[in-house]
Structure 1
Amino acid sequence: MCALGEVVHLWQRDIRDDERCGCGAKFSACGFWRRVGALAFGGWHNVDVDRVHYLRDAVERTRHIPRLATAVEAPDEVHEYADFYTRVYAAAAEVSGARVVVDSSKHSALAHVLRWSGNLDLRVVHVVRDARGVAYSWTKTVQRPETDGSSEMTRYSPGRSALLWNAHNAAFSLLARRGVAVHRIRYEEFVSDPRASLTSIAEFAGVDLAPDSLDFLHAEHADLGVGHSAAGNPMRFTVGQLPLRRDDAWVRALPPRQRRLVGAVCAPMLRAYGYPVFKEEVR
Structure 2
Amino acid sequence: MARVIFLGGLGRSGTTLIERVLGEVPGICAVGELVHLWQRDLRDDEKCACGSHFWGCDFWERVGIAAFGGWHRVDVHRVLALRELVERTRHIPRLATRVPAGYADLVREYADYYVRIYEAAAAVSGAEVIVDSSKHSALAHVLRYATRVEPALDLRVLHVVRDARGVAYSWTKNVLRPEAAADEMTRYSPARSALLWTAHNAAFSLLRRRGVRVRTLRYEEFLADPEATLRRLVTFAGLDPSAVDLGWLERDQVTLSVSHSAAGNPMRFTTGLVPLQRDDAWRTHLAPRQRAVVNAVCAPMLKAYGYELGVKR
Sort the TM-score into its range (normalised by shorter chain): over 0.9
Partner SS for 1:5: coil
**Over 4 Å off, 4+ runs:** none
Partner in structure 2 of residue 107 of structure 1: 136
Q: 2:121 aligns with which of 88, 92, 112?
A: 92
- Partners of 1:214 and 1:54 lie apart in 2 by 42
Aligned residues of 2:232 and 2:241 also touching (Cα < 8 A) = no
Any stretches of 5+ residues in structure 1 without a counterpart? none
Q: How many residues align?
A: 280
Superposed counterparts of 1:9-88, under 5 Å: 9-71=36-98, 75-88=104-117
- Partners of 2:297 and 2:210 lie apart in 1 by 26
- Partners of 2:245 and 2:183 lie apart in 1 by 36
- Partners of 1:29 and 1:165 lie apart in 2 by 36
- Partners of 2:221 and 2:235 lie apart in 1 by 17
Partner in structure 2 of residue 270 of structure 1: 302
Any stretches of 5+ residues in structure 2 without a counterpart? 1-27
Aligned residues of 1:226 and 1:239 also touching (Cα < 8 A) = yes
Partner SS for 1:266: helix
- Tell me how far 1:278 sits from its aligned partner: 2.6
- Tell me how far 1:277 sits from its aligned partner: 2.0
Partner amino acid for 2:170?
S
Partner amino acid for 2:45?
D
Partner SS for 2:134: coil
- Tell me how far 1:233 sits from its aligned partner: 1.1
- Partners of 1:209 and 1:130 lie apart in 2 by 28
Partner in structure 2 of residue 220 of structure 1: 252
Q: 1:8 aligned to 2:35?
A: yes
Q: 2:171 aligns with which of 138, 148, 151?
A: 138
Partner in structure 2 of residue 171 of structure 1: 203
Identify which of structures 1 and 2 has the higher relative contact order when contacts are C-alpha pairs closer than 8 Å and 6+ apart: 2
Partner amino acid for 1:145?
P
Aligned residues of 1:191 and 1:246 also touching (Cα < 8 A) = yes
- Partners of 1:186 and 1:22 lie apart in 2 by 26
Superposed counterparts of 1:186-205, under 5 Å: 186-205=218-237
State the superposition RMSD in angstroms.
Answer: 1.1
Aligned residues of 1:5 and 1:105 also touching (Cα < 8 A) = yes
Change in 2 beyond 3 A, CA 1:252/1:75: same
- Tell me how far 1:212 sits from its aligned partner: 4.8
TM-score (norm 1): 0.97
Partner SS for 1:121: strand
- Partners of 1:258 and 1:224 lie apart in 2 by 35
TM-superposition CA deviations, 1:24-61 (whole Å, max 9, x none): 11101110000000111111111111111111110101
- Partners of 2:50 and 2:215 lie apart in 1 by 29
Partner in structure 2 of residue 157 of structure 1: 189
- Tell me how far 1:215 sits from its aligned partner: 1.4
Partner SS for 2:113: helix
Partner SS for 2:182: coil
Partner in structure 2 of residue 208 of structure 1: 240
- Partners of 1:66 and 1:173 lie apart in 2 by 13
Partner amino acid for 2:94?
R
Partner SS for 2:310: coil
Partner SS for 1:105: strand
- Tell me how far 1:208 sits from its aligned partner: 1.0
- Partners of 1:154 and 1:246 lie apart in 2 by 22
Partner in structure 1 of residue 155 of structure 2: 122
Partner amino acid for 2:159?
H
Partner amino acid for 1:24?
G
- Partners of 1:100 and 1:220 lie apart in 2 by 26
Partner SS for 1:182: strand
Partner amino acid for 1:204?
F
Partner in structure 2 of residue 183 of structure 1: 215
Aligned residues of 1:23 and 1:228 also touching (Cα < 8 A) = yes
Q: Give the % identical residues.
A: 66
- Partners of 1:270 and 1:71 lie apart in 2 by 30
Aligned residues of 2:222 and 2:229 also touching (Cα < 8 A) = yes
TM-score (norm 2): 0.88
TM-superposition CA deviations, 1:232-280 (whole Å, max 9, x none): 1111111111111011111111111101100110011011001112321
- Tell me how far 1:211 sits from its aligned partner: 4.5
